[in-house]
Amino acid sequence: MVILMKFVNGAIRLFFTLAVPILLVLFSVRLIMTPLFLQIEYNRPGFPDDPYGFTREERLLHAGQMLDYLIYNQPVEAISELTFPDGEPLFNPREVRHMEDVQVVTRIAYFILFFMSLATAIISLYSARREESRAALRIGLTQGAVLTLALIGAIVVLAIFAWDLFFNSFHELLFDPGTWRFAFSDTLIRLFPEQFWFDAAILIGGLSGIGALGILWLTGAGLRFPYLSK
């Protein structure tokens, strides 16, 4: 029985060590996939204008349509049938195919977020029942927060000092080679220039880091949360 409990507590520590960075990053990604982030980003000083003529309002409109397509799992016709005022398709076939791939990645990310959140809630409730498990929960949360800060720190440094390497590696990891590269005149680049993604990456890192610091405060606040400090 003692050996079994040691195994269970070890599994609890390992689960939270790995789950914390995944959950924090995915929660942060979900937080910026909102119309509010689009409003802030397109209206912030210094954000590059579209050299091919999209106004700020047009960018907000079409970026919002893309966001709805991803979040609400709309059929591909929701974007493939969009047109410019002259009737030309807003997105070419390569852009549409890429957005189909992005939607698949988004669905997988949301699936992971949902079930890992559910597992985290269940395991947390279980761990609160025994002193040894509470200790394993605290250690796992602490280790996960520290791991998150280390990973986010490394990613932010890479994004700032080697953006091209970071950006290309990220896309090569998620998408087939060459399917995510577009001309500057293509609608996707006009709506989402690299500055957009740089700002998003920094914000995701910042939000994840704040969450990790909050967990470290939580696990160290014994007077307020004594069940986590034992």
pTM: 0.90
Distances (CA, A) of 96 to 66, 114, 161, 219: 11, 27, 31, 45
Residue 219's pLDDT band (boundaries 50, 70, 90)?
confident
Mean pLDDT to the nearest integer, 75-89: 95
Identify the pLDDT of residue 197. 95
- Mean pLDDT over 188-209 rounds to 96
Confidence label for 1 from pLDDT (cuts 50, 70 and 90): low
Distance CA 86, CA 53 (A): 14
The CA distance from 83 to 42, in Å, is: 21
pLDDT attached to residue 223: 35
CB-CB contact of 165 with 218 (8 Å):
no
Q: How many residues does the chain have?
A: 230
